[in-house]
Amino acid sequence: MTTVAAPVGDAPGGTRARPARGSRRRPSRARWWVVLGFLSPFVIGFAVFVLYPVSATLYYSLTDFQAGSYRPVQFVGLRNYRALFSQSDTFWVAVRNTVWMVVVMVPLRTGWAMLTAWVIIRVKRGRAVYRTLFFLPSMVPVVAAALSFIVLLNPVGPLNRLLDLVGVSGPGWFADPAWSKPSLVLMALWASGNVMVIFSAAMLDVPRELYEAAELDGANALQKFRSITLPAISPVIFFALLTGMIYTFQYFTEAFVASSSANATSSSNDLIGYPGNSLLFYSTELYRQGFSYFKTGYASAMAWLLFLVIFAATVVFIRASRRFVHHAGGGR
């Protein structure tokens, strides 16, 4: 049982005692300037690189603004938002592909990281070596990783040649609409070392005595995993699923690189979504609308919709997590 010490100054009942009105000393003006001076790098950086661009996209999303156009910008209200749902076929293709990745890739990546962590902590000799080997791919830059997989999964690349040796005709991987998304999933599994490390730390943190008690009660390995390990690491599972979901909703680089490298003949605009729009994700469609079609207002509306969807999904997921996430001390 863990106990948390009450913060200094808290009232015994758990509510913080409010200081008497006027008893707090007002900081001097000079002190404010010192505080602001120390804060200014963050405040300026945040205002210029976050607050301003975010506010700008909100404004643009309500206009017909096109980057590079000298035509007067018209306020169009919610027209861009309505157009998302009513006009574009590719918008729905992008939504479907993105949801596919969230539903398939995120759980698989989490499960795979959990499995590798579970296996690695059971290795008696050379555990650190295996852990390093599994972790290393996650340190490879995304573009380099994607390019490596494109070489590896080339229709006449090393993997398919290996498959040929055993009499299996390999698929087209990134060049085949049916296999392009599974190829990206494979790449995500390969690079799941960072999640694996967190899982292995969480698994090693599970008190030994719980397993010993379960063994005395005759529990087998599966029962121990289900009843002890899983509840104990549920906060990590929640973390992996939540961050994975947020990342996958914004999935861009891997898809963009995979599409462009599998289609060496086309101009930059033709690369997006190749093959056959199977790698057209929400963020790549947003990029195309904004930087190939220059529809800045429309692309901004897409960005805001994505923000709202991720925000809503996060809130729902956090609320739903109360049912399956066990916190130390027995709470959920």
Partner 1 sequence: MFKSITGAAAVTAAGVLLLAGCTSTGPTSAEPDTAITPGASHKPATVTVWTFNHLPNEVAAFKSTLGRLHTKYPWLTVKFVPNKDDAAYAKAVAAGNPPDVFISSTPDNVAKFCYNGTVADLKPYLSSAGVDTAKTFPPATLVYTRYQSKQCALPLLTDAFALYYNKKTFDAAGLKPPRTLAELTAAAKKLTVKNTDGSIKTFGFVPRSDFDVNRYAFTGAHNGSDFYGKDGKTTFASDPKWQQLLKWDQDLIDYYGKANVQKFVGRYQPHADDAGNPLLTGAAAMEFDGEWHVGEIASEKKDFDYGVVPMPVLDGSSGTYGAGSTLGTVAYLSAGSQHKQEAFFALQQLTTDTTFLNTLADTVYNIPTTFAALKAWDKAKDPHWKPFVDIFQNPDSSYKTLTPAGVEDMDTWRAFLLEYEQGKVKDAAAGLAAVGKKIDSLNSESGQ
- Residue ranges in contact with partner 1 by CB under 8 A: 52, 55-56, 59-60, 63, 65-71, 73, 87, 89-90, 154-156, 172-173, 175-177, 261-265, 267-269, 274-277, 291-294, 296
Give phi and psi for 233, each to the nearest 5: -100, 10
HSE toward the beta carbon, residue 181, CA cutoff 13 A: 24
Closest CA to 57 of 80, 39, 38, 34: 80
Nearer to partner 1, 59 or 311 (CB): 59
**3-class DSSP assignment, residue 282:** helix
Minimum CB separation from partner 1 for residue 92, in Å?
12
- Burial-class residue 77 by CB neighbours within 10 Å (0-12, 13-18, 19+): exposed
To the nearest whole angstrom, how small is the minimum distance from the Cβ of residue 327 to partner 1?
Answer: 40
Q: CA 323 → CA 224, 317, 331, 332, distances in Å?
A: 20, 10, 11, 7
Nearer to partner 1, 135 or 174 (CB): 174
Toward partner 1, which CB reaches closer, 68 or 331? 68
CB of 174 to partner 1, least distance (A): 8
**β-strand partners of 16:** 10
Neighbours of 137 (CB within 10 A): 16
Residues 289 and 306: beta-carbon distance below 8 Å = no
Residue number with CB closer to partner 1 (132 or 268): 268
Q: How far is the CB of 285 from partner 1 (least distance, A)?
A: 11
State residue 63 phi and psi, 5-degree precision. Answer: -130, 175
Closest CB to partner 1 among residues 74, 220 = 74
Please report how close the Cβ of residue 268 comes to partner 1 at its closest, in angstroms: 6
Minimum distance, C-beta of residue 40 to partner 1, in the bound complex (Å): 18
Bridge partner list, 63: 75
Closer of 87 and 132 to partner 1 (Cβ):
87
